[in-house]
Homo-oligomer: A and B are copies of this chain.
Amino acid sequence: MEIVYDQHEKHFVALDCIIFGFDQQELQLLLIKRGFEPEQGNWSLMGGFLKRDESIDEGAERILETLTGLTSVYMEQLYAYGEVRRDPVARTLSIAYYALIRTDQYNKDLADSHNARWFPVSQRPDLIFDHNDMVEKALARLRRRARTQPIGFELLPEKFTIPQLRSLYEAINNQPLDHRNFSKRLNSMEWLVKLNEKDKGSSRKGAFYYQFDQDLYQKLVQEGSSFDLK
């Protein structure tokens, strides 16, 4: 059957992952040091080639798992990069995905074995090929998404405090937020579940833990309410 397409050319298709994390201070990026030419020794995104028997989503998940050991992670397709000479070795398309992971849950040994390291996004090194473009686009996308969809929680532990969440949003948008207004907005969100437990890590008084109620959120969305968190 494939014969009818045989007049057309085939292409290498890579998948590159922009992996974001949060260390309670700054937004972080997981990068790998290339162990092979070209660009050996330089930093790049984690990537790999698409296989015949996997969808592109599956391919991206496989690559993320190879580096971090994680599955069931928030991941979203970012953009397809297809300049003719973007890869100097051979014509290769790349479909970029970005992922949000919890920095305390990935497999450090795996990451080490790939020479991976976390960098604060604000101090990331120059990357190979068009990977800098990818990171910038991912950042822009993350900023927009964090505003309109409840994805920030993917970067925090299950239980988090409001100051932690605020700190995350400050890191994502790289600007300070008024803590009273932020709390006020959050407290008006029905899907935010207050727990009877405090985090004493960052203050004497302690801050209450909260959880995101995914099910309730879904229900509220279906009823027409929407997420908007500046």
Contact = CB atoms under 8 A, between A and B. Distances in A.
B9 A52 contact: yes
Contact of A5 (B2, B4, B90): B90
Interface size, A (range):
20 to 34
Contact of A84 (B1, B55, B92): B55
Contact of A55 (B1, B9, B56, B82): B82
Contacts of A119: none
A91 B80 CA distance: 18
Contact of A52 (B2, B13, B79, B91): B91
Nearest to A50: B11
A79 B77 contact: yes
Copies of this polypeptide in the complex: 2
Contact of A13 (B1, B84, B93): B93
A134 to B, nearest CB: 13
A88 to B, nearest CB: 8
A184 to B, nearest CB: 24
B55 A83 contact: yes
A177 B52 CA distance: 49
A83 B59 CA distance: 10
Contact of A89 (B1, B51, B55): B1
Contacts of A11: 10-13, 50, 52
Given A8-B12, A11-B11, A12-B10, A90 B49 contact: no
Nearest to A6: B90
A215 interface: no
Given A90-B2, A92-B5, A80 B56 contact: yes
Interface in A208-224: none
Contacts of A54: 84
Nearest to A7: B49
Contact of A80 (B2, B51, B80, B90): B80
14 contacts: A2-B89, A5-B12, A5-B90, A8-B12, A9-B49, A9-B52, A10-B12, A11-B12, A11-B52, A13-B93, A50-B93, A54-B84, A55-B83, A56-B82
